[in-house]
Amino acid sequence: MGAMDFRRSYRSAAVTYVDLVSRVPADKWDGPGLGDWTVRELVGHTVSSALRQVPVVLTTPGGEIVVSSAEGYWALARQVPADIYAAAVAASGDDAHATGLVLGDDPADAIRELAGRATQAVATAADDDVVLTAAGGMRVRDWLPTRTFELVVHGIDLAAATGVPHNFSPEAVAEATARAARVAIAVGEGEMLLRALTGRGELPPKFSIV
């Protein structure tokens, strides 16, 4: 991918996500979203992880590079002790609930403003700036695609939960799908995935790379 592509992909996904949220019917917000989350909590999680934190991370120097690729970000999560991972999942759930409440009665306006701040921060960050992420120091060009992935995957979740069609471009879906495949390779499950995609095997129930 070219040097500008990861920024363009992020901006495109953010704009599409804001548009999707603006079309969620009022009576769907307290309905089922994803797993135990309501739609509001699903949106809260997505907004927190993929929009609100972006300006903060992009302006926080990360020191040395701890994770050198987008795939490595998720691969690292597979390596942490079970209790630490469980605590992180619980904290994410609490944050999803709190952020969902903060978005108020007109979430679309609040999210549009957060997306604007995020894309502005993306425009001013240099490709090779090392910033402090949840996984440690990462280059901007390696970290930002993990946020684009969040927008696309959880945007598709939101569309499925609400029955509102999303408008993510085929390129955005392709990029997220390719990213997921690269994560599978990074955690040693590439061959199993390839066999499943080519009709030569099946993935285990509830298989996930995240």
In 3-state terms, what secondary structure has residue 66?
A: coil
The enclosing domain of 74 has a CATH number of: 1.20.120.450
- Output the CA angle 183-141-97, nearest 5 degrees: 70
In the predicted model, is pLDDT for residue 70 greater than 80? yes
Quote the mean pLDDT of the chain.
92
**Bridge partners, residue 132, by sequence:** 137
Indicate the pairing of strand 130-133 with strand 136-139. Answer: antiparallel
Quick check: is 203 in a domain?
Answer: no
Residue 14 to residue 58: CA distance in whole angstroms: 16
**pTM to 2 decimals?**
0.92
The per-residue pLDDT for 3 is 40
Region 89-108: mean pLDDT is 85
Quick check: is 116 in a domain?
Answer: yes
pLDDT band at 38; cut points 50, 70, 90: very high
Quick check: is 119 in a domain?
Answer: yes
The per-residue pLDDT for 4 is 43
Residue 198 to residue 191: CA distance in whole angstroms: 11
Query: CB of 136 within 8 A of CB of 27?
Result: no
Quick check: is 113 in a domain?
Answer: yes
Quick check: is 210 in a domain?
Answer: no
Nearest residue to 155 via CA among 74, 46, 41, 68? 46
The percent of residues in the chain predicted with pLDDT above 70, rounded, is: 98
Domain count, the chain: 1
Nearest residue to 14 via CA among 46, 55, 59? 46
In the predicted model, is pLDDT for residue 100 greater than 60? yes
- Model pLDDT for residues 103-143, shown as the tens digit of each residue: 888 899 999 999 999 999 999 999 999 999 999 999 999 99
Residue range(s) defining the domain that contains residue 144: 5-197
Long-range contacts of 81-90 (CB under 8 A, 24+ apart): none
- Model pLDDT for residues 132-191, shown as the tens digit of each residue: 999 999 999 999 999 999 999 999 999 999 999 999 999 999 999 999 999 999 999 999
Quick check: is 209 in a domain?
Answer: no
